[in-house]
Amino acid sequence: MKRVFGSVVGAAMLLASGTAFAAEAEHPKQLHWPFDGMTGTVDRQAAQRGFQVYKEVCASCHSLHRVAYRQLADIGFSEEEIKAIAAEANVADGPNDAGEMFERPARPSDRFAAPFANQEAARASNNGAYPPDLDLIIKSRHDGANYVYSLLTGYGEAPHDVTLAEGMNYNPYFPGHQIAMPAPLTDDRVTYQDGTAATIDQMARDVVVFMQWAAEPEMEHRKAMGLKVLGFLLVMSVFLYIAKGIVWRDVK
């Protein structure tokens, strides 16, 4: 997903230099997500497909430095699958006995390997823009899930009254309606292992589910605990109400 969301930095630089865009971003499309609400859960099949989109499209520029490979077990990957996924990446380790750093295949306990060695290398490969880490992108944007989905599916031809700056693309869901990131998704950009049709809409939905999980892997546990606490408080309230009636029944 070349320069996904990294163009935010580029837009900020343009604004700082006095090239401001007056158009405000359109309100994101409103979708129903499986993780919405008090009883929301992670759609594990969608999350696995979303991981495939991240791996094949986004990971060339964007990291998930807070997520470890072994956490993929939470969305249904087996231990052997996780080992194979991790082994495809190399991570820095060391120093060795000679005091030198070295690279080795990643292990399940390692965090996702970053696509660039440092921020300077990332900027050099993206025309000065720094592709941000995506593990909290859903939480760091207002109406994050809907915003990311709308941005990924919102590319189109610019209206006749809009003049795009050089290297910019039209997207009404991005502030100013001009974004440096080219459309990252095209139909059949990936071939889903479960046979699902890889339309732009489907890939955008799936990668949002995956990024929501990455942003909050403990979501299901938190919501389950919250429901238990609410249930306890409800039952306790009933008992306290009954106890109050018993204690004060002789008092007029």
The closest of 8, 67, 10 to 216, measured between CA atoms, is 67
Q: How far apart are CA 171 and CA 169, in angstroms?
A: 6
Res 18: pLDDT: 38
H and E: helices and strands count for the chain: 8, 4
Look up the pTM and report it.
Answer: 0.83
Res 22: pLDDT: 55
Three-state SS at 150? helix
Res 83: pLDDT: 97
CB 107 within 8 A of CB 92: no
pLDDT tens, position by position, for the chain (252 residues)?
545 444 544 444 444 333 344 578 999 999 999 999 999 999 999 999 999 999 999 999 999 989 999 999 999 999 999 999 999 999 989 888 888 889 999 999 999 999 998 889 988 887 777 888 899 999 999 999 999 999 999 999 999 989 998 888 999 999 999 988 889 999 999 999 999 999 999 999 999 999 999 999 999 999 999 999 999 999 999 999 999 888 888 876
Tell me the two tokens of residue 115: 């696509």
Q: How far apart are CA 232 and CA 83, in angstroms?
A: 41
